[in-house]
Amino acid sequence: MTNDFMEQANDKSPLTLLGLGAMGTALARTWLAAGYPLTVWNRTAARAEALAPEGAKVAASAAEAVAASELVVLCLLDDASIDATLDGVDLTGKDLVNLTTSTPEQGRARAEWARERGARFVDAGIMAVPPMIGVPEAGGYIFYSGSLELFDAHQEVLAVPVGTKYVGEDAGFAALYDVALLSSMYGMFGGITHALALIGKEDIAAKDLAPLLADWLNAMSSSVHLFAEQFDSGDQEGDSASNLAMQVAGIPTFRDTAAGQGISTELLDPYFDLMKRQLAQSRDANSTGGTVDLLRTR
């Protein structure tokens, strides 16, 4: 190692990363490439040792890895694997950043768990897949919530792999934002699946429909803002250009077309049913955003 490189490395604050699966390994490589002193630990040691040639310091145990740095990043499979990894490990004075996917309740409980052990804590939700890590133009980022002091203190190092978005002191919010965005994605996947099923028996290549679908979904994505405005304001008038009664009147067209193509409408039916319930509540309602209220279970 040259003196120049050592000086550069010494400028950067050290960190520890526990968990070197696909995501953890991608994250580790960006910190190593940027010259951050990185201590790593993984349950299966071979995955940690694979990073040693790139400059990672391999700890023999999770406790040794945690002891090596103030900033400790977790990227494990699930909430239970955090207990399995950190049971009995001294966390006093540590800054814990949990990139492990969790529920809002798990994020809040983990914040309390960390506080009881003398550590500051932020939970996180990763809006990226491993190939997007270290590739700024790919647009990935990570939601963070919990201790603002911790986030401010380490924002520079946290921003190395992908962008950062801090969404509040409530440690459950990062997971909530994460699951909200991913849930909307599954709605979109359902729509794409239905569209491809519709053309499935015809002499239409899916790859020919794909660009049309992508452009249409892009054009319709601005509905997000309309729904949000209606939801925030409680506006029931909504968008009279595409009023709810007109949309409900169109439901048989979707059902009959699907039946004609020999496919089920099971992916669309729940949303159609909500639209009908919303219209039944108020004939004047134009706001499909109002259907949000119908989903409340408590």
Ligand X SMILES: NC(=O)c1ccc[n+]([C@@H]2O[C@H](COP(=O)([O-])OP(=O)(O)OC[C@H]3O[C@@H](n4cnc5c(N)ncnc54)[C@H](OP(=O)(O)O)[C@@H]3O)[C@@H](O)[C@H]2O)c1
Interface residues with ligand X (CB under 6 A)? 19-24, 42-44, 47, 75-78, 81, 84-85, 100-101, 126, 129-130
Cα angle value 68/153/103 (rounded, 5°): 85
Task: Give the number of C-alpha atoms closer than 13 A to the C-alpha of residue 145, restricted to the C-beta side.
Answer: 23
Q: Please identify, using beta-carbon distances, which residue of 106 and 230 lies nearer to ligand X.
A: 106
Q: Which is nearer to ligand X, 87 or 137 (CB)?
A: 87
The full DSSP string for 1-54 is --HHHHHHHHHSPPEEEE--SHHHHHHHHHHHHTT--EEEE-SSHHHHHTTGGG
What tokens does 90 get? 């001294």
CB of 260 to ligand X, least distance (A): 38
Neighbours of 27 (CB within 10 A): 26
In the bound complex, what is the minimum distance in angstroms from residue 285's beta carbon to ligand X? 37
> How near is the Cβ of 178 to ligand X at its closest, in Å?
8
Per DSSP, the chain holds a count of helices (H) and strands (E) of: 14, 8
CB 264 → ligand X: shortest distance, Å?
29
CB-nearest residue to ligand X: 21
Residues 174, 156: Cα–Cα separation, whole Å:
18
- Which residue number, 81 or 164, has a Cβ lying nearer to ligand X? 81
Residue 262 Cβ vs ligand X, minimum distance, rounded to whole Å:
35
**Closer Cβ to ligand X, 19 or 289, answer by number:** 19
Q: Which two tokens stand for residue 77?
A: 């499979």
Our CB check for ligand X shows the closer of 43 and 165 to be 43
Closest by Cα among 47, 162, 180, 174 to 107? 174
User: What is the nearest approach in angstroms of ligand X to the Cβ of residue 279?
Assistant: 38
CB nearer ligand X, residue 47 or residue 154: 47
